[in-house]
Amino acid sequence: MIDQSIKTMKEKLASGDITVRQLVDASIERIEEVDGTVGAFLRLDKEGARLEADRLDMQLMDGKMTASAVLAGIPVGIKDNIVTKDITTTCASAILSNFDPIHNATVVNRLHEAGTVTIGKLNMDEFAMGSSNENSSFHVVKNPWNLAKVPGGSSGGSAAAVAAGEVPFTLGSDTGGSIRQPASYCGVTGLKPTYGRVSRFGLVAYASSLDQIGPITRSAEDSAYVMQAIAGHDAADSTSANVDVPDYTEKLYADVSGLKAAVPAEYLGDGIDAGVKSRVKEAIAILEEQGIAWEEVSLPYSKYALPTYYILASSEASANLARFDGIRYGVRHESDNLIDTYKKSRSEGFGEEVKRRIMLGTFALSTGYYDAYYKKAQKVRTLIKQDFDKIFERFDLIIGPTAPTTAFGLGEELDDPLTMYANDILTIPVNLAGVPAISVPCGFSDSLPVGLQIIGKHFDEATVLQVANAYQQQTDFHTAKPDL
């Protein structure tokens, strides 16, 4: 019941074949059945979800739930760095293990207005810092396709929950690929919207100029429904763009012939697994059959994206995480004086990866190094953005793999942070440029999912979703389910 498309579930709710309470109970039962193995959820709100389900069923009976409310009654899981009133929000960090927000994030409020039912909070890399979801302070998440593999990160719990059939969709956050890379590893659909398209109010910041909330779903069509609910200007978020939101479903099934796609040579060059290359080339051929012309291009500054990102993101993290001191909120570790209380709270509250990035960022921002590192990285970021701008003068889309490999083994790269960071090499440039991108399943290599990345122009999520949906109408990879 819970592993069907959002549209199918909505039709069954409208016809009376199922109730919201049955959907919610099915989701909770599935989580209780498999999540002890997968580890996608950190906490459930079973009582709250069932109360909300009963309320929505009453609305359905009274005719107050309209057919246009596509998400009404649909269960959702929320990444644990998106604040939820009355549900503890920890960012998968020990330092916030007792933090109970007094308000919802804007996206959570918008989903509630659309009638969704929040099931619980999803596991992640601590403070969204990681590419494997092994950095959680509570427990690791495992890939539903192979429990010996990572699900990707930092939204590994969000992707694994959808892949495992625990909830129909989730919200994640994407700073350098943290929606798209786990979507690729787990064989689901993950969309990073344009920076500013979706409100960041209530998202616990990692890197404020890069973070963006987005949906993880089974299909591009489901993503369109979720985007319709969460996109739009928010006065509470100073980085929110006051740009009109189109109807994302309007051209979802429109003809894609005549569109032009660029395929960067760098995205299919050295370092990309042979199986990944093969699946992506097959996907490009399917899009070509549908009338999308493509041409090989170059993004010359993309080779500098990795160091640029880690300098900028770590610098912003060192500033954003300064507020977690054990005094105002979060876990406090008492000491004899205030300074030692700060030190003890932060040293015992933060995990190793978070401390590593805070130290890196503090170094990059320090006197004598600011110009050499942070300022230079900002200049390179501009060059990377200009690379994308030039391509989009001639092309509608950029297409390539989402990740250079399929999911790697649990524990395989924990002691090698540089190799771990390289897993985001194909997704990071998109965040630096601020453009939208989606990862859709495009086949398997060694029995593990491969993701196709479709990148669009600023605020043109509609075309990205249109092309992703066109591809999924010709393939069935997005319907494949792991055997748990």
Which residues belong to the active site?
79, 154, 178
* Enclosing H/E stretch for 419: helix 417-421
Q: Is residue 98 within 8 Å of 330, Cβ to Cβ?
A: yes
Angle between helix 20-38 and helix 6-15 axes, rounded to 10 deg: 150
- Which two three-digit tokens encode residue 451? 């993701």
Question: Which residues neighbour 253 within 8 Å (Cβ) at sequence distance 6 or greater?
Answer: 469, 473
Cα–Cα distance for residue pair 15/164, rounded to 1 Å: 27
Q: Is residue 94 within 8 Å of 348, Cβ to Cβ?
A: yes
Secondary structure class of 474 (helix, strand, coil)? helix
Secondary structure class of 29 (helix, strand, coil)? helix
Backbone angles phi, psi at 439, to 5 degrees: -110, 130
Strands (E), 131-259: 169-174, 189-192, 212-217
Q: Tokens 């919207």 identify what position?
A: 193
Cα–Cα distance for residue pair 133/139, rounded to 1 Å: 9
- Which two three-digit tokens encode residue 112? 């509630």
Q: Is residue 79 within 8 Å of 155, Cβ to Cβ?
A: yes
Give residue 315's identity as a one-letter amino acid code: S
Cα–Cα distance for residue pair 35/160, rounded to 1 Å: 10
> Which of 145, 116, 119, 133 lies closest to 32, judged by CA?
119
Sign of CA dihedral 199, 204, 205, 206: negative
Q: Is residue 180 within 8 Å of 468, Cβ to Cβ?
A: no
> Which of 260, 213, 244 lies closest to 431, judged by CA?
213
DSSP alpha helix (H) spans, 167-321: 180-186, 220-230, 274-289, 305-320
Backbone angles phi, psi at 431, to 5 degrees: -70, -40
